[in-house]
Structure 1
Amino acid sequence: MRKHSKIPEIKYPLLLLFPVAGLFALALEPFGFASAGFICIFLLLYFTKQLTIKSSWKYTFLSTLLFSSLVTLTSFYWIWNAIRNISGQGVFVSIILFLVYALLSFYKIGIVFFGSVFLTKQRTIKNSHFFLLVLPSLFLISDWICPMVFPVYWGDLFRNNILWRQMARFGVEVLGFVSIFSAALLYLMLLKSDKGIRHYFSYLIPIFCFFLINLYFLAESIPQGPTIHLALIQPNTPYAKREIQENEVWMTKTIQSVYDIGQEAIRNASKPIDLLVLPESAIPFLGTLDSQNPHTTYSKSFVDVTSNLVRTSNTPLVFNELVWDKGTRNTLTLLHPLNLSSERRYKQVLLPFGEYLPGEKQLPWLRNIFPETSNHIPGELTDVLSFQTKMGERVTFSSLICYEILYPDFLRKIINHSPSEFVLNLTNDSWFESLTESKQHAGAGRLRSIESGRPVVRVAVTGITTAFDPWGREMMGELQTFQKAIGYLDLPTVEKDRTTPYIEFGPGPWRIMVVFLLFFVFFHKSRADSTIK
Structure 2
Amino acid sequence: MRKHSKIPEIKYPLLLLFPVAILFALALEPFGFASAGFLCIFLLLYFTKQLTIKSSWKDTILSTLLFSSLVTLTSFYWIWNAIRNISGQGYFVSIILFLVYALVSFYKIGIVFFGSVFLTKQRNIKNSHFFLLVLPSLFLISDWISPMVFPVYWGDLFRNNILWRQMARFGVEVLGFVSILTSALLYLMLLKADRGIRHYFYYLVPIFCFFLINLYFLAETIPQGPTIHLSLVQPNTPYAKREIQENEVWMTKTIQSVYDIGQEAIRNTSKPIDLIVLPESAIPFLGTLDSQNPHSTYSKSFVDVTTSLVRFGNTPLVFNELVFDEGSRNSLTLLHPITLTSERRYKQVLLPFGEYLPGESRFPWLRNIFPEASNHIPGKLSDALGFQTKMGESVTFSPLICYEILYPSLVRDIVNHSPSEFILNLTNDSWFESLTETKQHAGAGRLRSIELGRPVVRVAVTGITTAFDPWGREMMGELQTFQKAIGYLDLPTVAKNRTTPYIQIGPDPWRIMAVFLLFFVFFRNSRADSTIK
2:418 aligns with: 418
Task: Report the alpha carbon displacement of residue 339 of structure 1 after superposing the two structures with TM.
Answer: 1.3
Paired residue type of 2:323 = V
**1:339 and 2:339 correspond:** yes
State the identity as a percent. Answer: 88
Aligned to 1:25: 25
SS in 2 for 1:258: helix
Cα drift, residue 153 of structure 1? 0.3
Structure 1 segments (4+ residues) deviating >4 Å: 2-5, 526-529
- Alignment correspondent of 1:34: 34
- Deviation, 1:61, is 0.2
Tell me the number of residue pairs that the alignment of Structure 1 and Structure 2 aligns.
529
Pairing 1:289-308 to 2, within 5 Å after superposition: 289-308=289-308
Q: Give the unaligned 5+ runs of structure 1.
A: none
Task: State how far apart, in whole Å, the 1-side matches of 2:91 and 2:525 are.
Answer: 56
Whether the aligned pair in 2 keeps the contact of 1:126 and 1:528 (CA below 8 Å) is no
Instruction: Tell me if the contact between 2:4 and 2:53 (Cα under 8 Å) persists in the aligned partners.
Output: no
Q: Aligned pair 1:173/2:173, yes or no?
A: yes
Give the match for residue 161 of structure 1.
Answer: 161
Paired amino acid for 1:440: Q
**2:100 partner amino acid:** V
What do residues 469-493 of structure 1 show as CA deviations (whole Å, max 9, x unaligned)? 0000000000000000000000000
Cα displacement (A) at 1:69: 0.1
1:368 aligns with 2:368: yes
Tell me the TM-score normalized by structure 2.
Answer: 0.98
| In 1: Cα distance, 2:464 partner to 2:260 partner | 21
Give, as a single letter, the amino acid of the residue that structure 2 aligns with 1:506.
Answer: G
User: How far apart, CA to CA, are the structure 1 residues paired with 2:15 and 2:260?
Assistant: 55
**In structure 2, how many angstroms separate the alpha carbons of the residues matched to 1:514 and 1:255?**
52
AA at the equivalent of 1:87: S
- Distance between the aligned counterparts of 1:347 and 1:166, measured in 2? 28
**For the aligned residues, what is the CA RMSD?**
1.5
Structure 2 counterpart of 1:261, which letter? I
After TM superposition, the structure 1 = structure 2 runs for residues 43-442 of structure 1, keeping only pairs within 5 Å, are 43-442=43-442
Give distance in 2, aligned partners of 1:200 and 1:216. Answer: 24
Please give the alpha-carbon distance, in whole angstroms, between the structure 1 residues aligned to 2:214 and 2:380.
35
Which amino acid is 2:120 matched to? T
Q: Which amino acid aligns with 2:380?
A: E
Letter in 1 for 2:378: P
SS at match of 1:339: coil
In the aligned structure 2, how far is the partner of 1:60 from the partner of 1:9? 16
CA–CA distance in 1 between the matches of 2:449 and 2:146? Answer: 23
Give the secondary-structure state (helix, strand or coil) at the position aligned to 1:149.
coil
**3-state DSSP class of the match of 2:339?**
helix
Amino acid at match of 2:436: T
- Return closer, same or farther for 1:199/1:3 CA change in 2, 3 Å cut-off: farther
In structure 2, the residue corresponding to 1:231 is in which secondary structure? strand
2: CA distance, partners of 1:294 / 1:264: 35
Deviation at 1:227, TM superposition (A): 0.2
- Is the alpha carbon distance of 1:120 and 1:9 closer, same or farther for their aligned partners in structure 2, counting shifts above 3 Å? closer
Q: What's the TM-score, normalizing by structure 1?
A: 0.98
The amino acid across from 2:232 in the alignment is: L
Question: Cα offset for 1:338?
Answer: 2.2
Query: 1: distance between equivalents of 2:9 and 2:523?
Result: 31
* Ranges in structure 2 where 5+ consecutive residues have no aligned partner: none
Cα distance in 1 between the residues matched to 2:249 and 2:525: 75
- Structure 2 distance, partners of 1:506, 1:341, is 36
How far apart, CA to CA, are the structure 2 residues paired with 1:514 and 1:18? 29
- In the alignment, the residues of structure 1 paired with residue 447 and residue 414 of structure 2 have an alpha-carbon distance, to the nearest angstrom, of 16
Q: Deviations over 1:338-381 (max 9, x none)?
A: 21000000000000000000000011100000000000000111
Aligned partners of 2:498, 2:193: CA distance in 1, in Å? 45
